[in-house]
Chains A and B, each alone.
Chain A
Amino acid sequence: MSLSTKEYFVKETFKSIKRNQLMSFASVSTVAVSLLVLGMFLLMVMNANNLAKYLESQVQISVYMEDSASQNTLTAAEKSLKTMPGVTKVTSITKTQAMAKFKQRLGDQNRLLDALGEENPFPYSFDVQVDKPERIAQIVPKIDEMKGVETAKFGQEVVEHMFKLTKLLRMGGLLLVFLLAMATLFIISNTIRITVFARRREVSIMKYVGATNWFIRWPFLLEGMFLGFAGAMVASLVLIQIYLALQEKVYATLAFFPLITAWPFLAYLSLFLIITGTAIGAAGSCIPLRKFLDV
């Protein structure tokens, strides 16, 4: 392809966008809105995922020992817990420590405990952390069978709910993304259809003088890609602003909330949106062209 040909393509593309200002603006806006929603959904899904992972990593098994367990049994239990496959950390919590922790939690209300007198109802316990949450289901019954163990508990339900939510979000998001992509495709292909229609005379003359289909296609393809690209740029910029503002708010009020850090996350997301927008633009312009090229 010679330089003058490339120049010709670029010139034709911008001429056409200018000629079709209103429709081009409408397409860019639609792409921008669709991709913005898509981006928001991705942000939500990815953050939910992140949160689930975070909670998952927080998963630990609390092993409560029998009050009657001797110091020897406790030491033996700790030892065998540590050697279990997948166990990464075992922390022992003595009865006194447990009591102190509880007192701290009660805060001003800790006088309630006075009623207990000298008695400490808290059992000796271990906090066991594992590398993968899937292991919990196999480990817990084993721990339960160990000597001196009263019961082993873990925050299974919370994690399971979280995973279900993420799954749902992902499925719903996927469906929404698909619908939005179709809508965007439709809008862009309509814009290009109008462009092609406005220039059908030119296209037919091109065919008569022997232009190849690809030569005819390029300016329209570029136009579609440009519309998609421009819309994606707008969507990305808006999304970045929203996320940065959100992050500031979250950090100010919910400091512990595991939000995905803005960079480079947003850069990847923008790149993804831009590629998607441009690809949709290209696809959208191919659809109406097929019909018109068939001369």
Chain B
Amino acid sequence: MKGISKTYPSGAVALRSVDIHIKPGEFVFVVGPSGAGKSTFVKMLFREVIPTTGKLFVDGVDVIGLKPEEIPFLRRQLGIIFQDYRLLNERTVYDNIAFAMQVIETPYRQIKRRVAAVLDLVGLRSRAGDYPGELSGGEQQRVAIARAIVNDPLLVIADEPTGNLDPETSRDIMKIFTQINDSGTTIVMATHDKNIVDSMEKRVIAIEDGYIVRDDAKGVYGYEPEH
């Protein structure tokens, strides 16, 4: 990421000439007050938000220069996790995860095998036939994580994944993220959760008012909890 700026059409400036390099296999927290540009930062990585200026490469791919028909292939390299899980409520846990493989046209047999494996990883094998509505928040987020990693992404992007969860559940979720990271997957996580950031001792990038104000290899949250 080089010289990245983002100005929204409304005139709001979210990022100001940001230079960041994230190495493969890193676990990076993006922190900062609400509205500081965290969300913009992570959304740019999967090209939901296009920077106004600058250059952005993900795994050597020039994200800004992508043609519309190339975007899906960038996203297949990424696993995206949201605060609100974004599961399909009329599909079972299994189908929610398999869906991510179906839509990129993975052969059926491969889907079955791989979904079983990620369900094991997130500890939800026994809930495969349940619907999201029957699960707790933490379980739903685990399904979302399973869906994000089912296609073996290079980079997992999580936007406030523990924002709706209690501290204990959050810790469980973070264990799963650690496991994913240990297997070599890069993780970029925007978060508000002081406890998590402080306990993990990972790289922390702090954004304030569109500027990078801190970038520590073993950083701390550094703000007062907002809630």
Q: Please list the residues of chain A having a beta carbon within 8 angstroms of any beta carbon in chain B.
A: 1-2, 4-5, 8, 201-202, 204-213, 215-216, 295
Chain B residues in 8 Å Cβ range of A207: 72, 75
Report if B104 contacts A (CB, 8 A): yes
Report if B211 contacts A (CB, 8 A): no
Instruction: Give 9 new A-B contacts, CB below 8 A, not counting A208-B75, A209-B103.
Output: A5-B105, A206-B103, A207-B75, A209-B76, A209-B80, A210-B76, A213-B72, A215-B103, A215-B104
- For A209, give its contact among B69, B100, B107 (CB under 8 Å): B100
Chain B residues in 8 Å Cβ range of A5: 102, 105
Report if B131 contacts A (CB, 8 A): no
29 A-B pairs whose Cβ atoms sit less than 8 Å apart in the complex: A2-B105, A5-B105, A8-B102, A201-B86, A201-B88, A205-B86, A205-B100, A206-B99, A207-B75, A208-B46, A208-B80, A208-B86, A209-B75, A209-B76, A209-B80, A209-B99, A209-B103, A209-B104, A209-B147, A209-B151, A210-B73, A210-B74, A210-B76, A210-B103, A210-B104, A212-B69, A213-B69, A213-B72, A215-B105
Are B76 and A295 neighbours in the complex by a CB distance under 8 Å? no
Are A4 and B107 neighbours in the complex by a CB distance under 8 Å? yes
Chain A residues in 8 Å Cβ range of B78: 210
Are A210 and B151 neighbours in the complex by a CB distance under 8 Å? yes
Tell me, rounded to whole Å, the shortest Cβ–Cβ distance linking B71 to chain A: 8
Closest chain A residue to B81, Cβ basis: A208
Report if B168 contacts A (CB, 8 A): no
Chain B residues in 8 Å Cβ range of A201: 86, 88
- For B88, give its contact among A2, A8, A202 (CB under 8 Å): A202
Chain B residues in 8 Å Cβ range of A211: 72, 103-104
Chain A residues in 8 Å Cβ range of B86: 201, 204-205, 208
In Å, the complex CA distance between A141 and B145 comes to: 92
- For B72, give its contact among A1, A2, A212 (CB under 8 Å): A212
Chain A residues in 8 Å Cβ range of B100: 205, 209
* Residue of A201, A206, A210 ringed by the most chain B CB atoms within 10 A: A210
In Å, the complex CA distance between A4 and B101 comes to: 12
Q: Mark contacts of B145-157 with chain A using CB atoms, 8 A cut-off: 1 yes-contact digit, 0 otherwise.
A: 0010001000000
A interface: dominant SS: helix
Report if B226 contacts A (CB, 8 A): no
Chain A residues in 8 Å Cβ range of B107: 2, 4
Chain A residues in 8 Å Cβ range of B102: 4-5, 8
Chain B residues in 8 Å Cβ range of A295: 48
Are B105 and A1 neighbours in the complex by a CB distance under 8 Å? yes
Chain A residues in 8 Å Cβ range of B46: 208
In Å, the complex CA distance between A267 and B74 comes to: 49
In Å, the complex CA distance between A212 and B80 comes to: 16
Tell me, rounded to whole Å, the shortest Cβ–Cβ distance linking A35 to chain B: 34
**Pairs A-B, 10 closest by C-beta atoms:** A210-B76, A211-B103, A210-B75, A209-B100, A210-B72, A212-B72, A4-B108, A208-B80, A206-B103, A5-B105
Chain B residues in 8 Å Cβ range of A2: 105, 107
Closest chain A residue to B76, Cβ basis: A210
Q: Mark contacts of B100-134 with chain A using CB atoms, 8 A cut-off: 1 yes-contact digit, 0 otherwise.
A: 10111101100000000000000000000000000
In Å, the complex CA distance between A205 and B107 comes to: 20
In Å, the complex CA distance between A204 and B88 comes to: 11
Considering the complex, which residues of chain B in the window 49-107 have a beta carbon less than 8 Å from any beta carbon of chain A? 68-69, 72-76, 78, 80, 86, 88, 99-100, 102-105, 107
In Å, the complex CA distance between A249 and B147 comes to: 66
Chain A residues in 8 Å Cβ range of B99: 205-206, 209
Chain B residues in 8 Å Cβ range of A210: 72-76, 78, 103-104, 151
In Å, the complex CA distance between A204 and B43 comes to: 14
In Å, the complex CA distance between A87 and B167 comes to: 101
In Å, the complex CA distance between A201 and B78 comes to: 19
Tell me, rounded to whole Å, the shortest Cβ–Cβ distance linking B21 to chain A: 24
